[in-house]
């Protein structure tokens, strides 16, 4: 049973730090305020900054500059070309992304970190998260199946762990299993106001690869309005190679997906009709790669699916 309260969550504050690490890029999803900046993806962590009246909000402590995003995307483009992904499919605007892509079941390895009784997620809670993922990714060619679960009682890994720390490295080096196509999911009581963080694809097996999530963000947890399981949906989007919808603001290459309208800044809550880039159409507030409430998120675009499929073929297949 999980024991963390909303009072404890409300005490979390925003941490903004980090830089692009092209060799092992990662992204994160935060609980944050409307004053948040644009997206960053070195290690991608999403953090808690400002708060809803009912609890924490989303914000990313690793906001990625346009130059950093371009550097990472150039690596993606080069590697996709080397794997034979066509230029049209590399544009992430066409479907299917690659003739080589085949629908795949992603094996999930759960690493549940606890501090005695705190953090002991049940099998039914983990199954509920898998159900949310399979619903969110329906029609993308990706589905998820738990293949292993382990529990580790370690207070230093559970209480206040953040990305890029010795604690994270020690935890992942001890627990990571499988190859590039295996999804390692870690749950703990995160520090720095983080909802979670995720690594981007790379060409080698890396024990740091995977997704770390606030335990109370799973369905039924206390991290409202981020307690319906879509922190995992969002972070796995990064794990598959997707940027935030608001990456790059109203100009430039943005999220490198042609069919997600440009967005000047992250959206919070569920601001229907929000339009921050007048020439691009209304903001994609219901997209899983924005920062809106879990109850507001419900879609990936065709271009995002194409990009994820191409990057899967290139890196994780």
Catalytic sites, residue numbers: 235
* Distinct helix (H) and strand (E) counts, the chain: 8, 10
User: Tokens 């065709």, residue?
Assistant: 302
Burial class (CB in 10 A: 0-12, 13-18, 19+), 116: exposed
b/e per residue, 217-256, with b = 16+ CB within 10 A? Answer: bbbebbbbbbbbbbbbbbbbbbbbbbbbbbbbbbeeebbb
CA distance 308 to 141: 10
Angle ∠(267,270,271) on CA atoms, nearest 5: 70
* Of residues 312, 315, 33, 42, the one with CA closest to residue 197: 42
Q: What 3-state class would DSSP assign to 31?
A: strand
CB within 8 A of 236, min separation 6: which ones? Answer: 133, 137, 183, 198, 211
One DSSP character per residue, 14-30 reads --------GGG-EEEEE
Looking at the DSSP assignment, which residues form a beta bridge with residue 159? 189
| Separation between Cα atoms, residue 249 and residue 266, nearest integer Å | 9
């Amino acid at each position: 049973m999980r024991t963390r309260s909303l009072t404890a969550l409300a005490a979390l504050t925003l941490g903004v730090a980090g830089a692009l690490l092209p060799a092992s890029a990662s992204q994160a999803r935060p609980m944050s305020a409307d004053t948040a900046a644009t997206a960053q993806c070195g290690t991608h962590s999403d953090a808690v900054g400002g708060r809803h009246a009912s609890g924490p909000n989303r914000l990313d402590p690793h906001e990625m500059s346009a130059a950093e995003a371009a550097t990472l995307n150039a690596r993606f483009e080069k590697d996709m070309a080397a794997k034979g992904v066509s230029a049209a499919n590399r544009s992430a605007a066409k479907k299917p992304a690659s003739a080589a892509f085949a629908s795949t079941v992603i094996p999930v390895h759960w690493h549940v970190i606890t501090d005695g009784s705190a953090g002991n997620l049940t099998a039914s809670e983990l199954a509920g998260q898998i159900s949310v993922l399979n619903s969110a990714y329906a029609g993308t060619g990706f589905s998820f199946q738990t293949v292993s679960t382990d529990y580790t009682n370690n207070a230093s890994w559970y209480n206040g762990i953040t990305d890029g720390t010795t604690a994270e490295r020690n935890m992942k080096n001890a627990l990571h299993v499988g190859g590039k196509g295996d999804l390692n999911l870690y749950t703990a009581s995160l520090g720095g106001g983080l909802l979670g963080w995720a690594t981007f694809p790379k060409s080698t097996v890396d024990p740091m690869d995977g997704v770390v999530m606030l335990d109370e963000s799973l369905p039924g947890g206390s991290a409202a309005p981020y307690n319906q399981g879509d922190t995992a949906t969002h972070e796995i989007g990064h794990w598959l190679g997707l940027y935030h919808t608001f990456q790059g603001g109203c100009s430039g290459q943005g999220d490198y997906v042609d069919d997600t309208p440009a967005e000047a800044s992250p959206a919070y809550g569920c601001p229907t009709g929000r339009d921050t880039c007048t020439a691009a159409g209304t903001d994609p507030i219901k997209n899983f790669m924005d920062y809106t409430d879990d109850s507001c998120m419900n879609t990936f675009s065709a271009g995002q699916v194409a990009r994820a499929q191409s990057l899967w073929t290139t890196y994780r297949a």
